[in-house]
Structure 1
């Protein structure tokens, strides 16, 4: 026996306290020299290789008792049961079913994988620069399509199991309570994901209809964009200046495309400045020359008709124009602001949204430095054309800053109370934007004024619906109602020439179409959280065996807002389809592509929510997905990103239909099983299947009544948008750490 050997116990006790053997760093191990340990070690410090001193990771084998393992398994089972109970819990009043936030479990391998979330695939015409850095990301799907959600830990003192009154317990705001960060190891730093983004809403939609027993779908990474390495390579290369004929052609194409939405440049002044630019030395990198490089990039982007096989259209010109970002003018001029706005617009086509937002913010701040946000006296600037150009240029930067920031959920560069410049040909408050019999310049001014005010309303909608709680002085219901009333007032003031009629035989004006599409997008962004809440109520009721008919209903006010969202999505897709037929849907148009994806996501929800028009909305969704895939095949970077989400949505819809729809319902959804009465009814009234968008009939009588009611009648928005639930409904587990 070891106890009988003298000194054995003391020897073992001393051995247990001996220091561990020092593990050599990689550099010392490779040189076969003794490593002193530490970070960095002595040898690496002497060789001035402190940053290269890295130690191998040790994988120790630790013996644990069987009781400890059994306890872990019991805790896992308890957490799974608690997670299922947290997903779908009826409200205390029993009026509706609502979903609680479920922290994404990333420690379990089953929660990190899912067939519908690993959507990959790159067709021809992928954005230049993806094949190098992004190919590695796509090859490692475990890193690309899995997110890590960090939640605050809960100490036993905080997780008090004693019963507490649910009315006294603080509300659990799971929507927008904490910022949504994408913390995957493919990024150098966590990336902020905005709830206002269309891709983020598509992820929320897939999470609602997913199987509660399976892994929760995660957000798909945005990998389809031109990376920095590709742009740096093109920037260092020597790109020849196009010939005079080619330059004029690209400028014509760029001017027509840029001015179809916003005012940036004068066509006549640009053609005059081209001759001055040709007189500069070939190696010159002046602001004027960079502006023409940006014009060439946009012109080639719009003039390209064939699918992209190698480089993205105009990206070489864009890389040359980006050289001006290396040095910013201490005293910026209008040429500098115009170049920045053009670079921002082209960055969106490359799907570089963050870069576009940063560049537009730089343009706005340059305009502020120039004093474009203030009215300049006529005594200091007598030229009326220059004053009008300064005015319009500022408002274009204003719209860029607000619209780009709204898509990302980021703040604006300047507040409205700091702007003193007048609107272009501002109408009186009691009149519409412009009378019917105005001149061409007056009609264009009316379009610009309407577009500016709509961009302002979009920012108001984002702040009202998606702002962080605790940062507002008024209730959410009051802010949402005020935003919708502002949109309704905007519609009432819109002149007839800026409205569209899909039943008209003549082609609609392009400015009117783009304005209508932006308006529909504003309404969709404002109301789609309510639509998602209505879908959640229906899905929860279908998955629950104890739900009553009352619990599967939503308030009439929520139903009215959901219907307005669906109606706007139908109008938007109809205008986009007509633009495709008319040839005005440019292949690389990032704005129309975004509107297409936004509307088709709503149509996908309507296909399983609205039983009356489910088949029609599903057909529209499939047609929209086909158009989006054509844009992807042509090389549209924005469409390439959205196609990943579309494939995931299609897989989620298929799984949801298999899970909740019976064979009898499947036969009812079959197009061949449609009754003859329905077909004859549609043939007798063809306009019934095509919703008219004339005079913006986006609001029905129920929604009109809702907008006229006091804010207290819209209190359900606090629960629908924020998903507020009393914590007293859930059992607190002191061992649960989020």
Structure 2
């Protein structure tokens, strides 16, 4: 790593060498602290003559191989590689079948073509023609999508652009503040803004005397204006200094839709990294307005636009690379939270992860650390979806163990700069750091919560005989899985409550409300099941503290409901869920004939009635929930070691879970 960060070098300051360094902390720009080190190029430049010599050598070897094959008895079959069978595929050593034209750089006007396209097939045919044909002639006549498309002037209405600039866009100072709000509250995980975006790009746009006249320049200006409008809409979500900011956010969002409609007439020419980023920003805003269908459709458009640009195969800049992995994160975000199908298959990805994309230099910064860690966690999300919530040939215990092992490795591999003390949470850190730990606990919850559903079903199918249902080994295993699930939900609640009390929560965001919603469901089920099971399977802590955490979550959602439609929706669902779990129809069959036990269904509902009567004392209740000095991070080591030692894949417990649990509670029929 370089001895001094970029900012200290520019300002000629002594750098402490940390990430972030002391100077960047002093000027309150920790995210801008980065170290860049040049790397010697690993690309070897070769001449066309050298390539032809290699090709001749390959032909000689193929001739020798064919001669050897002719001497082998007819009943002896030689294995064929994929490249031998299908000339469309690249061989294992990376050389294509026949002549390979020099690669051309992708631009916003070029389009990616997969091997199954007819134009790509024709290109392969041309490349296989005899060597006497001029390679330049072949390359110039490639029937690619870029060559086939009709180039027409973009039909952008300049009067609409002028109207947006004059009537909707705020002044530079206000625009800069909104952009900074969006960057700080959302984090680098779900939004990409260049460091000097406001001071250079936005200022240049707003300082123009008039919009561009040339159609090509007007198109690029409109694309950048669309991106600015989406950033302003997101920034307005978190602007607490202006009471009308929520309405301005809707105004900015509607203007974004209007600009996007204008670009639809020239979508082929407009497709670019900036357009993809704008679509993702629009999707984030739609989620905050509880517009799930629109968000999913918009992310789908962004991903498919990215596919046409070929970013999943090769990126030419860090911006393109970052744009692709943002699409990947959004794809996993929607898939795991709404059960939507994945749109990006990991087998189709050739693009390196962020910092590996630039071979000329290595960049070290908090932004790089955050984004790479978030991408790797999103990859584990793929495993959660495929192993836990889809049919596969392995047992649940095997899949759960594999996913939890990956999560543990991810957590252990975090740089020290991305870790914090769970017993002393400081909200002054960058929001992206909190996002990582929140997502980590959420991943544990969705991996292990099917076991909680199994226990709920067990209670309702065995009234009063729960302790006879489980053998000791089965009970210990389920207890270990549930302990991790409930502890993750508690930690999730604690972090989010701390952010809320300190004014650091993205109060208009969908994600924070959804995290509270998911954690509260787990805690409600844990409290309910614990009060109806004589055997202590679920929760070993203080039941009163558990209900305190539940009620804190409910009160926070209720407070957020005043200006967050998503929080209002989640609060209504949780309230209805508690009423259902407390109803006579649900708790009646669980009452014993010889009278109610100490932890009766009645006491379950009373816990909420008692706590909800003190809604105005939310700040006072805060002190109790944060008196927990023994709530550390979820350490999966003990559980993983226990499964390895006690429960091999052929054990009775494994078969028990697979037969009675998976078939009924986890996967789709």
TM-score (norm 1): 0.55
Aligned to 1:333: 272
Residue matched to 1:363: 302
Cα deviation for residue 651 of structure 1 reads 0.7
Q: C-alpha distance in 2, partners of 1:647/1:512? A: 31
Tell me the residue number matched to 1:255.
Answer: 183
Q: Paired residue for 1:616?
A: 545
Q: Is the 8 A contact 1:520 1:569 kept in 2?
A: yes
| Count of aligned pairs | 449
Equivalence for 2:337:
407
* Aligned residues: CA RMSD: 3.5
- Tell me the CA shift for residue 311 of structure 1: 6.2
Tell me the secondary structure at the aligned position of residue 401 of structure 1.
helix
Q: Which residue of structure 2 lines up, in the alignment, with residue 705 of structure 1?
A: 642
Aligned to 1:560: 480
Q: Please state if 1:637 is matched with 2:565.
A: yes
Checking the alignment, whether the CA contact within 8 Å between 1:524 and 1:569 is kept in structure 2 is yes
- The DSSP-based 3-state class of the residue aligned with 1:586 is coil
> Deviation digits for residues 332-375 of structure 1, max 9, x if unmatched?
11221221121121111111122222222222222222222234
- Does the aligned pair in 2 maintain the 1:348–1:356 contact within 8 Å? yes
Identify the structure with bigger relative contact order (alpha carbons < 8 Å, sequence gap 6+).
1
Give the number of the structure whose residues are more often helix, by fraction: 2
How far apart, CA to CA, are the structure 2 residues paired with 1:571 and 1:240?
42
- Say whether residues 1:536 and 2:457 are aligned partners: yes
Aligned to 2:65: none
Aligned equivalent of 1:398: 328
Three-state SS of the structure 2 residue aligned to 1:715 is helix
2:319 match: 389
Counterpart in 2 of 1:62? none
Determine whether 1:442 maps to 2:381. no
Of the three residues 389, 395, 403, the one matched with 1:483 is 403
Give the Cα–Cα distance (whole angstroms) in 1 for the partners of residues 560 and 340 of structure 2.
28
Structure 1 unaligned segments of length 5 or more: list them: 1-234, 382-386, 428-438, 674-684, 726-738
**Is structure 2 residue 462 aligned with structure 1 residue 462?**
no
Native 8 Å contact 2:331 2:343 kept in 1: yes
* Contact 2:405–2:640, Cα closer than 8 Å, also in 1: no
CA distance in 1, matches of 2:649, 2:470: 24
Identify the residue that residue 373 of structure 1 maps to in structure 2: 312
Question: Does the C-alpha gap of structure 1 residues 292 and 443 become closer, same or farther in structure 2, counting only changes over 3 Å?
Answer: closer
How do residues 305-344 of structure 1 correspond to structure 2 at under 5 angstroms?
Answer: 312=247, 314-326=249-261, 327=264, 329-331=267-269, 332-344=271-283
Q: Give the corresponding residue for 2:491.
A: 571
Deviations 1:205-257 (A, max 9, x none): xxxxxxxxxxxxxxxxxxxxxxxxxxxxxx9x975322333222222222333
Q: Which residue of 2 aligns with 1:22?
A: none
Cα displacement string for residues 585-634 of structure 1 (whole angstroms, at most 9, x for unaligned residues): 1210221111111111111111122355322211211111000000001x
Contact 1:568 1:698 in 2 (8 A): no
Structure 2 contact 332–382 (Cα < 8 Å) conserved: yes
CA apart distance, 1:707: 5.1
- Indicate how the Cα distance of structure 1 residues 664 and 371 shifts in structure 2: closer, same or farther if over 3 A, else same: closer
Rate the CA distance shift 1:562–1:505 in 2: closer, same or farther, 3 A. Answer: closer
Shift of 1:528: 0.9
Deviation track 1:174-196 (CA, whole Å, cap 9, x = no partner) reads xxxxxxxxxxxxxxxxxxxxxxx
Deviation at 1:282, TM superposition (A): 11
Quote the offset at 1:451 in angstroms.
Answer: 0.5
Asked if 1:422 corresponds to 2:348, the answer is no
| Per-residue Cα deviation, 1:378-404 (whole angstroms, up to 9, x for no partner) | xxx6xxxxx222222211111111211
Q: Decide whether aligned partners of structure 1 residues 531 and 724 sit closer, same or farther in structure 2, where only a CA change above 3 A counts.
A: closer
Alignment of 1:99-248 (within 5 A): 240-248=168-176
The match for 1:715 is 655
Match status 1:595 vs 2:523: no
Question: Any gaps of 5 or more consecutive residues in structure 2?
Answer: 1-160, 532-539, 611-623
Give 3-state SS (helix, strand or coil) of 2:467's partner.
coil
Q: Is the 8 A contact 1:262 1:448 kept in 2?
A: no
Deviation of the 1:532 alpha carbon: 1.3
TM-score by length of 2: 0.61
In the aligned structure 1, how far is the partner of 2:416 from the partner of 2:301?
A: 36
Aligned to 1:627: 556
Call closer, same or farther: CA 1:248–1:324 in 2, change over 3 Å. same
Equivalent runs, 1:43-62 vs 2, <5 Å: none
- Secondary structure in structure 2 of the residue aligned to 1:665: coil
Are 1:340 and 1:360, in contact at CA under 8 Å, matched by a contact in 2?
yes
Residues 307/710 of structure 1: CA separation in 2 closer, same or farther (3 Å cut): farther
Pick from 297, 316, 321 the counterpart of residue 233 of structure 2: 297
- Cα deviation 1:702-722 (Å, max 9, x = unaligned): 453115643334333433233
Q: How far 1:291 sits from its partner (Å)? A: 1.2
Tell me the secondary structure at the aligned position of residue 630 of structure 1.
helix
